[in-house]
Structure 1
Amino acid sequence: MTATDASLTRPTVTAAILVIGDEILSGRTKDKNIGYIAEYLTNIGIELREVRVVPDLVDEIISSLNALRARYTYVFTTGGIGPTHDDITADSVAAAFGVAIDHDPRAIEMLSERFPADQLNEARLRMARIPAGAELIANSVSKAPGFHIGNVFVMAGVPAIMQAMLDVVGPTLKTGTRILSETVRAGLREGDIGTALGEIAKSHPLVAIGSYPFWSETGPDTNVVVRSRNPEKLAEAVLAVKAMIEAEQTRLRG
């Protein structure tokens, strides 16, 4: 077995993102974390399968978290771990796991690196409340930690802080085989190639093929994205797509 063959037998590692916050659902805050996490996970061989956005309601958070953590290898949450009354993620996670929650001395020590004792008021100390048994996720930006319990990683909603936490978490994750991709610009409308593209997809079952229309400087166009964990199967499908596009372009010109 070659190194490539061995990598293709690695188990698939999956993930979900649970975005928590009324401000996302209302449109007041535009999410910038989903795309970043998705790209990060794809690059290390973890397949993002689902994203949910839930309001600041304990029951909604608990039910979604329990569903996702049972279904996927990892769950990443963002939002709701700040100092205000509506930051209820930590309490909800503790309830989902059936554990107690209290001020964690380790988290207080981290906060003390930024805030002197007379500024560690009740609001800021809320950020030190951690479910029992959780491990902390360091935060180099504002010091208030995230945490990890079971297969759930609880991170901040502020993009810069979330990214710093993900850099800490990433090296600890188990990973699968990376999904490779190649994009082919068709120079054609999606409707021109839809039927033929479907036939190619049927004949290449180990490859995922998607078409994405856009408007270019010369008019309607389409990008065809081919994805696979197997580089040989990917190359075969890309050749088939390119040949189909060339044939269709010739036909339309003729």
Structure 2
Amino acid sequence: MEIDKAIGESDDKRLKTKYNNAIYVIKRALALYSVEEVAFSFNGGKDSTVLLHLLRAGYFLHKKEQSCSNGGLLHFPIRTIYFESPSAFPEINGFTYDTAQTYNLQLDIIRQDFKSGLEALLKASPIRAIFLGVRIGDPTAVGQEQFSPSSPGWPPFMRVNPILDWSYRDVWAFILTCKVKYCNLYDQGYTSIGSIHDTVPNALLRVNDSNSKDKFKPAYLLSDGRLERAGRVKKVSSGRENFPSVGNDLDNESYKHKVLSAAIIAVGDEILSGTVEDQLGLSLCKKLNSVGWSVHQTSVLRNVIDSVAEEVERQTSTNDMVFIYGGVGPLHSDVTLAGVAKAFGVRLAPDEEFEEYLRHLIGEHCTGDRNEMAQLPEGITELLHHEKLSVPLIKCCNVIVLTATNTCELDREWECLTELTKLGGVLALMDPYASRRVMTSLTDVEVAGPLSKLCLEFPDIYIGCYRKSRKGPIVICFKGEDKARTDSAVEALREKFKEGVFDEIE
């Protein structure tokens, strides 16, 4: 069979893995259901074109295993459903009918809406499973697995998704490797085709040439597969993915006088067991205070997905930004990203762009189709690029995931984060707090009453105390947004005692 032969001769290890997994799903479905009980939903797009040829190969290999025959594939008996729409591109219709004729497909043309047409089809036919060209990243893919029963309220059937974990890159790698024909709209800059009302060529493929106005490069040249739907009309969605980001707009009155709050979450059993000392939390508190942010809470969690999810959900609802570190990687104990995903009600999904960074970073160690480190929270992840970072920072709504494991790495990530903020606005950089510290050898009892009164006189100034040792001097800290006001609080404290009992700490 020409498809299986082309993949076998390819040097693309990733494509071979994707192909073999998809063929396994198809052969598994054909073992569970008879040919009369399965159907294939074809819409003329690139994904269903790939699935058509995978089904042809899968059916051929399935029959070969059953009969031990090496004969060619003379007939493709899987029923093919095409929902014809008046708003479909003429090129899509033409390609679909040409493909059906070329491969002798049993084409059932349905001119009703998807749900009504499906109900009528299943009533008239013994179909129990339908092959779909759904990929992660598609709006309908959320919550689906390779075998997923239909949703409540729909006619009962099994959705079979052989290419669910395929990326945009994988789809085009298959098409170009196997040299299969595809709809010519993809050669005109279309990267994701819907209806004539909501689809235009992808502007990212526009040819930058004054003599080539309104000309576009073909779809397979799109470098970032995450942007394949950039040519589709966007709908305003609802949900937590629309959490308002905090930008670096200091002229915006909504932030000019607002105290922005942050929470810091460390994930790691090794911290709680005392095996590792957490120095990142202390450093991050200092960094946030230096740009005018108030850290409301720091917490250390075990490597448990539910614990991470609950804490992230709690902190994101009460703080402007949450910083989380630890538990990021491919090990069984690295649960941070899974916890973030669960907190926002999404799942982890392969991110093609992030995987390319990892592949470049760790080379042949990054093989196969299930690189766990490239699984990011679906639909809410933004990659923050900087030339000094080997891999981008990860931002999920108002959560920033740090990969630093020591203070030197944190310094670099923070530097990049603040530079990115100045360029485009990741988190607001406010005026740093005005702070002063004084120390005294007075006892706790002597300073307690006057300090309590001082707090009432300066409610806008943070006043705190600590000792570095049990018998050491008391250190009193003052922190406020206004330097003059902070200085006034320090002078008011001095006036309550004899001269010279407080020494300034630089």
The TM-score bracket by the shorter chain reads: 0.7 to 0.9
Show the counterpart of 2:215.
none
Show the counterpart of 1:149.
396
State whether structure 2 residue 196 is matched by structure 1 residue 196: no
Show the counterpart of 2:326.
79
Instruction: Confirm or deny: 8 A CA contact 1:139 1:165 kept in the other structure.
Output: no
Ranges of 4+ aligned residues in structure 1 off by more than 6 Å: 139-142
User: Within 2, Cα distance between the matches of 1:138 and 1:164?
Assistant: 13
TM-superposed CA distance for 1:165, in Å, is 2.6
Show the counterpart of 1:165.
413
- Does the residue aligned with 2:496 lie in a helix, a strand or coil? helix
State whether structure 2 residue 99 is matched by structure 1 residue 99: no
Cα deviations across residues 150-190 of structure 1 (Å, max 9, x unaligned)?
10111125024343333333322114443211111223233
Show the counterpart of 2:281.
34
- Does the residue aligned with 1:246 lie in a helix, a strand or coil? coil
TM-superposed CA distance for 1:123, in Å, is 11
User: Within 2, Cα distance between the matches of 1:87 and 1:62?
Assistant: 13
Instruction: Confirm or deny: 8 A CA contact 2:389 2:413 kept in the other structure.
Output: no
- Tell me which of 250, 253, 268 is aligned to 1:21: 268
Q: 1:138 to 1:201 in 2, by over 3 A?
A: same
TM-superposed CA distance for 1:43, in Å, is 0.6
- Does the residue aligned with 1:53 lie in a helix, a strand or coil? strand
Show the counterpart of 1:210.
464
TM-score, normalised via structure 1 length: 0.84
- Tell me which of 212, 222, 227 is aligned to 2:474: 222
State whether structure 2 residue 429 is matched by structure 1 residue 178: no
Q: 1:194 to 1:120 in 2, by over 3 A?
A: same
* One-letter identity of the residue aligned with 1:161: E
User: Within 2, Cα distance between the matches of 1:238 and 1:44?
Assistant: 22
Instruction: Confirm or deny: 8 A CA contact 1:128 1:145 kept in the other structure.
Output: no
Q: 1:140 to 1:22 in 2, by over 3 A?
A: farther
Q: Which moved more, 1:45-54 or 1:128-137?
A: 128-137
What are the ranges of 5 or more consecutive residues in structure 2 without an aligned counterpart? 1-252, 502-506
Q: Which moved more, 1:107-116 or 1:33-42?
A: 107-116
Instruction: Confirm or deny: 8 A CA contact 1:10 1:177 kept in the other structure.
Output: no
- Does the residue aligned with 1:210 lie in a helix, a strand or coil? strand
User: Within 1, Cα distance between the matches of 2:281 and 2:433?
Assistant: 18
Q: Which moved more, 1:41-50 or 1:152-161?
A: 152-161
TM-superposed CA distance for 1:29, in Å, is 1.1
TM-superposed CA distance for 1:227, in Å, is 1.6
Q: 1:32 to 1:121 in 2, by over 3 A?
A: farther
Cα deviations across residues 66-108 of structure 1 (Å, max 9, x unaligned)?
0000000000101111121111111221122122322212112
User: Within 2, Cα distance between the matches of 1:30 and 1:40?
Assistant: 19
Q: 1:88 to 1:122 in 2, by over 3 A?
A: farther
How many residues align? The count is: 242
State whether structure 2 residue 383 is matched by structure 1 residue 129: no
TM-score, normalised via structure 2 length: 0.44
Is the strand fraction higher in 1 or 2?
1
User: Within 1, Cα distance between the matches of 2:494 and 2:450?
Assistant: 11
User: Within 2, Cα distance between the matches of 1:124 and 1:164?
Assistant: 29
User: Within 2, Cα distance between the matches of 1:45 and 1:122?
Assistant: 45
Show the counterpart of 1:252.
none
User: Within 2, Cα distance between the matches of 1:24 and 1:211?
Assistant: 26
TM-superposed CA distance for 1:52, in Å, is 1.3
Q: Which moved more, 1:53-62 or 1:182-191?
A: 182-191
Give 1 or 2 for the bigger CA radius of gyration.
2
User: Within 2, Cα distance between the matches of 1:39 and 1:215?
Assistant: 22
- Does the residue aligned with 2:303 lie in a helix, a strand or coil? coil
Instruction: Confirm or deny: 8 A CA contact 1:83 1:126 kept in the other structure.
Output: yes
TM-superposed CA distance for 1:247, in Å, is 5.0
User: Within 2, Cα distance between the matches of 1:139 and 1:131?
Assistant: 21
Instruction: Confirm or deny: 8 A CA contact 1:12 1:177 kept in the other structure.
Output: no
- Tell me which of 234, 237, 242 is aligned to 2:486: 234
State whether structure 2 residue 69 is matched by structure 1 residue 69: no
Q: 1:33 to 1:48 in 2, by over 3 A?
A: same
User: Within 1, Cα distance between the matches of 2:345 and 2:294?
Assistant: 28
User: Within 2, Cα distance between the matches of 1:83 and 1:110?
Assistant: 15
Q: Which moved more, 1:102-111 or 1:21-30?
A: 102-111
Matches within 5 A, 1:39-58: 39-58=286-305
What are the ranges of 5 or more consecutive residues in structure 1 without an aligned counterpart? 1-5, 250-254
Give % identity.
Answer: 23
User: Within 1, Cα distance between the matches of 2:454 and 2:404?
Assistant: 41
Q: 1:34 to 1:41 in 2, by over 3 A?
A: same
- CA root-mean-square deviation: 2.9
User: Within 2, Cα distance between the matches of 1:236 and 1:97?
Assistant: 45
